[in-house]
Amino acid sequence: MVSKFVDNDGVRLHVVDNERDGTGVPVLTVPGMGEEAEEYAWQLDALGDRRVVVVDVRGRGQSDAPEHGYTWEHHYGDVLAVLAATGLDRPIAMAYSRGSPYAFGAALHAPTPMRGLVLNDYQARHIGLGPPVYDSLRQQKMRGRTIGERMPLHAIKGVVDESEEISLWERIPDLRCPMLVLRGGQPGSMVDDAAAARYEESGVRVVTLPERGHGLWYRDLDAYLAVLLPFLAEIDAVNA
């Protein structure tokens, strides 16, 4: 694993990269709210013979946390900056929870279409949060640490205050690549039956992990990979 930094208009972004020159289509991963790139280091080896890059968007992990600049456009701009700086050739974009609209935005605005998009338990929306959410979000615990311990408080406030509700449902056809949505079948999943149906009506493949809630991989990684890896292999086969 190689840790490196990328610049996006003066904001230094941290990424981890396996720097592998493999046969599979590369993957660019965007973690969820408060998560750090190192927490996804397992992907560097678990996703087969391919290059994998995981990004800390602004305010997360080892990346800079500017005082302002936390809109949807700023976040997907971070993903595009990493895409350009690392030289990834039309990767599969993969994202978790709040990282999903950032990867979706990058896929919409990339110079050439991504070869796939995987969203993990999130609807096709950039959800507007609003100031009342700040305290509950700051105190939300994830794998032993609160988001307030994982991110600078001003960065959490920036994500909340600068968020706005943006529907991406209508933009799914503009992606021009295969899309997979993974969701949990237990309480806590953010993709309910109605959202799953809406994805499927748009031609998106939806797979439910029946024993999981919102956290899809960290308590049963093997079950998660059993669903994810065949999709990646299908994209590899098409692009071989």
Q: What are the structural domains of the chain? A: 2-238 (3.40.50.1820)
pLDDT for the residue 226: 96
pLDDT, position 200: 98
pTM: 0.96
Ordered alpha helix ranges (H), 110-220: 134-139, 147-150, 153-161, 193-201
- What's the pLDDT at 219? 85
Quick one: pLDDT at residue 146?
96
Inter-axis angle of helices 99-109 and 72-86, to 10 degrees?
60
Place of tokens 């109605």: 194
Per-residue pLDDT of the chain (240 residues; tens, 9 = 90+): 899 999 999 999 999 999 999 999 999 999 999 999 999 999 999 999 999 999 999 999 999 999 999 999 999 999 999 999 999 999 999 999 999 999 999 999 999 999 999 999 999 999 999 888 999 999 999 889 999 999 999 999 999 999 999 999 999 999 999 999 999 999 999 999 999 999 999 999 999 999 998 999 988 999 999 999 999 999 999 997
pLDDT of residue 7: 97
pLDDT confidence of residue 47? 97
Strands 116-120 and 166-167: unpaired
Residues near 134 by beta carbon (within 8 Å), at least 6 away in sequence: 156, 157, 160
- Dihedral angle over CA of 29, 32, 37, 39, nearest 10: -110
In terms of Cβ atoms closer than 10 Å to its own Cβ (0-12, 13-18, 19+), residue 93 is buried
